[in-house]
Structure 1
Amino acid sequence: MSTPHEVCDVVIVGAGMAGLACATALKDAGLRVVILEASCHVGGRIRTIRENELAVAGDLPNSRNTCLRVHEPNAGTQRPLGSGQFGFEAGGEFVHGSTTTLNALLRKERAELTHLFTWAHGDGGPSEEKAPDGSVGLYWVGREKRMMPFDKQDSDHIHLVKVLQELGERSQSDIEADDATKISLEGYLKRMGVSDRAMAFAEAGYANTVCGTLKQISTARMSECERGWEKDGDGDFRVAGTLHGTAIRALERGLDIRRSQPVTKIVRCHKGVEVVSNRAGEASSSFTHSASAVVMTASIPTLQRKVIDFSPPLPESKMRAIDSLRCHSALKMFAKFHEQFWPTDVHGMICSDSFAPEIWFHTCPEEDASTASFGSKAFYLTAFFTSDQAQRIAALKTETAFDSLLEQLSEMFACNARKHYAGGFIFDWGEVPYIWGGYAVPSLNEAPGSRAELATAVDGIFFAGEATDPHNYMTAHAAMCSGERAAREVQHALTKHPISRL
């Protein structure tokens, strides 16, 4: 039996932010584009999990029972997890910067954006005033069991913020002069006189946000990153509803997306490119697409695991760049409560020397299934872990992880958090097939120029994704910009050197 065969102009591998943005631009240019997505999910690392989905089977399609673990407390819990409609943001959640292409897309879609208090060091440190939404930030000094409001920081903490904020102001000559290209962020902060107790906040807020540890993060790469973020404009924003329900829904309109079609092989020849895929779970069900070009948006771990066979192989320079990048684990713990025990004007915290390093809060109406009305409220919490901390949580039993989280909350807010707990779940991106991690950390292992090398096209194969953007590290808008950049490269290549289809 012959293998099904289809001809198009461009095949895009991956339906994440980069792939969708690229496909939209190429479709608008009049090209026929097919997106092959390995999973049943569109959106990549932007993913919303509805609470009522958890109640159905305690799992989600395509999760393979390892990336999502549900924790249900004793029976009879008031309004248990699964009884509401809340949308948990398992992946990308916040919109960084006021001038980015993602921000512009959301405003075009008339999405409601709330300007948040910036609580994480990775996002520039705490402001000196309340945010436009009236919120404030809190710091939990774990080793001292003390809460520190944003406007009452001690001298150690103020010095840390100053050092981190000035990191992006360092010139390349300054970095080369003190050999910072070989210095970890931990070494740099110690050199700048940051105390051990403040270093713990840098680990919890800055390093965790960057998806690494202070020992892993490169000072030089982080300085480049900070300069890139400066161009994004001020502020961090939360979207009313979900980021997936606004940005992803807008980008996927009218696109030809083939779900559950993991790509297994890409063959380059004089006539163009052949892309072979299989229907997920059916090794014998093979499909071939012939195209003038292919845009690769697969994650760094997917490329490193050589899940896709390139024929002929990718150049050694490309593989060295891929292998030098680090994409560590990222994990979120979500918890639901039927009473609020944290301050109403706080939506984010950094916690040093604690189980959970970064926490943020949500309050929303909860639908009563019997009356279909929104007469009550439910309260939700997100705890965020990356790199070594994510691996630590992933290794724990689900019950043990939530016991530790509830113990921390009880200590911080002098209450019995367990009394108000209605259930929770863990979502581990390190276990999600074809993603296998968070985002590309600016690490000491990363060879200079690796991101630019990764972005370079190879004989009809173009590359996109947040790791290919040398300026806007670790953001959803970096992925979006990379997709638009790849689309321009494809159009230029097909206009300048038309390739006859197979």
Structure 2
Amino acid sequence: MDMDVAIIGAGAAGIGAARRLKGSKLKVMMLEAAPRIGGRAWTLDIAGIPVDMGCAWLHSASRNVWTGLAEKAGVKIDRRESAWRTQHRDLGFTKAEQEAARQSFEDFTQRLIDTPPASDIAADALKPGDEWNNSIRTKVGYISGGVLEDMSAQDYAAYETAATDENWRLPGGYGTLITSHLPTETSLRLSTPVNAISLRGNGVTLETLSGTLRARAVILTVSTAILARGAIKLPASMQLWQEAAAQLPLGRDEKVVLEVVGNSPFEPETHVMGNPHDLLSASYNIRSMGLPLIECYLGNDSAAIVSEQGPAAAFAHVIDGLANLFGTDVRRCLRPLITSSWTRTTHIQGSYSYARPGQASARQRLALPFEDRIFFAGEATSPLDYTTAHGAHDSGSRAAEETLTALAKLAA
């Protein structure tokens, strides 16, 4: 055997698995298709400013494993309440309208929890004729990247019930924190996509562009989009796992980052949303942690601008949105920096997972081990904390625990 355990994917789930296997005396190798680790946790250094292009918030922070790891490592945490629920200076959105929109969204969420539609279609929980239905759709787009007609009400409600309102930030970057926790003893191969996995004898064979590798067990942490389209060929008897992945598609969420230059009306720690009735509106996180940046969140319809029209169109779109609220003169204060492109990233192909109607149980099905040799992890396998980096980490730890148990049985 080349190794005891192969971990495919070096994102938060893979790192969580590697952390659990640390000290086990097993030979562990991590194979990552990209030329970097972190997956959807990616902090870029732009002119000395850490910019998170993927996950950026410690959601459910007090019970988030990364919070404890940050504290243990002495990493600074910004615990201030986010400005998401506010509209700076009530620009384009009166206080009465904000309250009405907020109440409609809360009522919608509560209906999903208390009286879920029999169809399990999240859109069926919308109140017919509610003038804020587009606002609800847009907010769900930021949260899950999906279309309500294609989303399980049960699955959406499960996350909302488990989540807390504690959302903290890491000035040094969430991606930086996550990648810093890959154990140094884990052997790592970057730019090494796995093309096929098969069972051979008492182990697992991995086909890569660099050659064939053998392991006693494998922990598979790649995205559901990769699994569903068969980018990694699995044994024919694993069709049920591939079908489960197909019921957990990745949504469309992108981030467009602008730099604020010169004198501007943009005050630190503020937030605005574009036209709340427009499905293409962005959510603007302005100068968070005092940085001279505006993070523009695009979900579903608006995120498609990045993948279908490209960065230039996305920059123009978000700048137009800010100019509509703050006045056209702000254009001189805004400099395009960078956009994410998760939907078009070959080895990921989307943002976070959501379950299709009637398919909330697909998360548990995807998490089941196969023949005690192939184990699954990733945010999509978390029943309550999907879409999060802590859900991904904990799923990796769970898969590693299953792997240790299985290998111990074989050795007995």
User: TM-score scaled to structure 1, two decimals?
Assistant: 0.75
Correspondence 1:357 to 2:270: no
Correspondence 1:112 to 2:71: no
Shift in alpha-carbon separation, 1:295–1:154, aligned structure 2, 3 A = closer
Shift in alpha-carbon separation, 1:498–1:483, aligned structure 2, 3 A = same
Q: State whether residues 204 and 358 of structure 1, in contact with CA within 8 Å, keep that contact through their aligned partners in structure 2.
A: no
- The ranges of structure 1 where at least 4 consecutive aligned residues each deviate by more than 4 angstroms after the TM superposition are 152-155
Deviations 1:209-256 (A, max 9, x none): 111123332222211221232xxx441000021112222212344321
Match of 2:233 in 1: 309
**Rounded Cα–Cα distance in structure 2 between residues aligned with 1:235 and 1:39:** 32
**Rounded Cα–Cα distance in structure 1 between residues aligned with 2:130 and 2:380:** 32
**Rounded Cα–Cα distance in structure 2 between residues aligned with 1:466 and 1:228:** 15
**Rounded Cα–Cα distance in structure 1 between residues aligned with 2:102 and 2:228:** 40
Deviations 1:182-210 (A, max 9, x none): x33x321215xx722x2222122233211
- Taking the TM superposition and a 5 Å limit, the aligned residue runs for 1:17-96 are 17-51=12-46, 84-96=47-59
Match of 1:320 in 2: 243
Match of 2:294 in 1: 381
One-letter code of the match for 1:313? Answer: A
One-letter code of the match for 2:230? Answer: K
Q: State whether residues 11 and 295 of structure 1, in contact with CA within 8 Å, keep that contact through their aligned partners in structure 2.
A: yes
Q: State whether residues 38 and 259 of structure 1, in contact with CA within 8 Å, keep that contact through their aligned partners in structure 2.
A: yes
Residue 298 of structure 1 is aligned with which of 222, 226, 248? 222
Residue 118 of structure 2 is aligned with which of 179, 191, 200? 179
Match of 1:371 in 2: none
**Rounded Cα–Cα distance in structure 2 between residues aligned with 1:210 and 1:399:** 24
In the TM superposition, what is the alpha-carbon distance from 1:27 to its structure 2 partner?
Answer: 2.2
Match of 2:407 in 1: 494
Correspondence 1:273 to 2:219: no
In the comparison of the two structures, how many residue pairs are matched?
408
**Rounded Cα–Cα distance in structure 1 between residues aligned with 2:88 and 2:17:** 40
**Rounded Cα–Cα distance in structure 2 between residues aligned with 1:419 and 1:154:** 29
Shift in alpha-carbon separation, 1:203–1:116, aligned structure 2, 3 A = farther
**Equivalent residue of 2:150, what SS?**
coil
One-letter code of the match for 1:329? Answer: R
**Rounded Cα–Cα distance in structure 1 between residues aligned with 2:89 and 2:145:** 20
- Taking the TM superposition and a 5 Å limit, the aligned residue runs for 1:456-471 are 456-459=368-371, 460-471=373-384
In the TM superposition, what is the alpha-carbon distance from 1:265 to its structure 2 partner?
Answer: 1.6
Correspondence 1:344 to 2:267: yes
Match of 2:346 in 1: 433
In the TM superposition, what is the alpha-carbon distance from 1:110 to its structure 2 partner?
Answer: 1.7
In the TM superposition, what is the alpha-carbon distance from 1:468 to its structure 2 partner?
Answer: 0.8
Match of 1:369 in 2: none
Correspondence 1:101 to 2:65: yes
**Equivalent residue of 1:10, what SS?**
strand
Correspondence 1:255 to 2:203: no
Unaligned runs of 5+ in 1: 1-5, 52-83, 121-125, 127-136, 279-285, 366-377
**Equivalent residue of 1:405, what SS?**
helix
Q: State whether residues 302 and 435 of structure 1, in contact with CA within 8 Å, keep that contact through their aligned partners in structure 2.
A: yes
One-letter code of the match for 1:296? Answer: L
Correspondence 1:188 to 2:125: yes
Match of 2:92 in 1: 146
Shift in alpha-carbon separation, 1:167–1:139, aligned structure 2, 3 A = farther
**Rounded Cα–Cα distance in structure 1 between residues aligned with 2:402 and 2:126:** 40
**Rounded Cα–Cα distance in structure 2 between residues aligned with 1:157 and 1:364:** 27
**Equivalent residue of 1:344, what SS?**
coil
**Rounded Cα–Cα distance in structure 1 between residues aligned with 2:196 and 2:379:** 23
Match of 1:287 in 2: 211
Please tell me whether Structure 1 or Structure 2 has the larger radius of gyration of its CA atoms: 1
**Rounded Cα–Cα distance in structure 2 between residues aligned with 1:413 and 1:315:** 54
In the TM superposition, what is the alpha-carbon distance from 1:400 to its structure 2 partner?
Answer: 3.4
Q: State whether residues 20 and 483 of structure 1, in contact with CA within 8 Å, keep that contact through their aligned partners in structure 2.
A: yes
Q: State whether residues 57 and 170 of structure 2, in contact with CA within 8 Å, keep that contact through their aligned partners in structure 1.
A: yes
One-letter code of the match for 1:427? Answer: S
Q: State whether residues 140 and 412 of structure 1, in contact with CA within 8 Å, keep that contact through their aligned partners in structure 2.
A: no
Structure ranking higher in helix proportion: 2
- Taking the TM superposition and a 5 Å limit, the aligned residue runs for 1:215-230 are 215-229=149-163
**Rounded Cα–Cα distance in structure 1 between residues aligned with 2:262 and 2:98:** 32
Match of 2:175 in 1: 244
